[in-house]
Amino acid sequence: MGSLNSKQSEACRYTDGPLLILAGAGSGKTRVITHRIAYLIDELSVNPYNILAITFTNKAAKEMRERVDRIVAYGAESVWVSTFHSMCVRILRQHIECLGGKSNFTIYDTDEQKTVMKEVLKYLNLDTKMYPERAMLAAISKAKEEYVSPDQYEKRAATSYREQQIANIYREYQKRLQSNNALDFDDLIYKTIELFEHNPDVLEIYQNRFKYIMVDEYQDTNHTQFLLVKQLAAKYQNLCVVGDDDQSIYKFRGADIHNILDFEEEYPNAKVIRLEQNYRSTANILNAANGVIANNEGRKDKTLWTENEDGGKVTYTEYENEYQEAESVVNDMIEKSGQGNSLNDMAVLYRTNNQSRVLEEKLLMNNVPYTLVGGTNFYSRKEIRDMVSYLKVVANANDDLAVARIINVPKRGIGDTTINRAREFALLSEMNLYDVLLTPEEIPGIQRAAEKIHGFTRQIEGFRQFMADATLDELYEEILEKTGYKMQLEAEGTDEARSRIDNLKELKNKIVKYEEEAEEPSLMELLEEISLVADTDREEDTEKERVTLMTLHSAKGLEFPYVYIVGMEERLFPSGMAIDSDDMDAVEEERRLCYVGFTRAMKGLALSGAGTRMVNGTRIYSKTSRFIDEIPENLLIRRGISEPVSYEKRNWRNPEPQTSFSKSTSFPKKEKPYAGLTMSSPLISKGMPGQVVIDFAVGDTVKHLKFGKGTVTELVKTGTDYEVKVNFERVGEKKMFASLAKLKKL
From the list 15, 30, 371, 658, the catalytic residue is 30
- C-alpha to C-alpha distance for 689 and 320, rounded to whole angstroms: 10
Told to judge if 30 belongs to the known catalytic residues of this protein, a careful annotator would answer yes
- C-alpha to C-alpha distance for 516 and 704, rounded to whole angstroms: 9
Told to judge if 217 belongs to the known catalytic residues of this protein, a careful annotator would answer yes
Does an H or E element contain 214, and which? strand 212-215
In contact, 335 and 308? CB cutoff 8 Å: no
DSSP string, 597-657: HHTTEEEEEEEEEESEEEETTEEEE-PBPHHHHTS-GGGEEEEES--S--HHHHTT-S---
Told to judge if 112 belongs to the known catalytic residues of this protein, a careful annotator would answer no
* CA end-to-end span of the chain: 80
From the list 172, 186, 187, 217, the catalytic residue is 217
E-strand ranges in 627-740 read 636-640, 701-704, 708-718, 721-728, 732-737
In contact, 87 and 190? CB cutoff 8 Å: no
Told to judge if 658 belongs to the known catalytic residues of this protein, a careful annotator would answer no
- For 109-145, the three-class secondary structure string (H helix, E strand, C coil) is CHHHHHHHHHHHHHHCCCCCCCCCHHHHHHHHHHHHH
From the list 216, 361, 506, 589, the catalytic residue is 216
DSSP string, 167-182: HHHHHHHHHHHHHTTE
- C-alpha to C-alpha distance for 333 and 313, rounded to whole angstroms: 18
Residue type (1 letter), 274: R
Told to judge if 600 belongs to the known catalytic residues of this protein, a careful annotator would answer yes
From the list 8, 219, 224, 247, the catalytic residue is 247
In contact, 284 and 275? CB cutoff 8 Å: no
Q: By C-alpha distance, which of 744, 708, 729, 726 is closest to 469?
A: 708
Please list the residues that pair with 346 across neighbouring strands: 562
Q: By C-alpha distance, which of 299, 352, 305 is closest to 592?
A: 299
Q: Which residues are catalytically annotated?
A: 29-30, 216-217, 247, 600
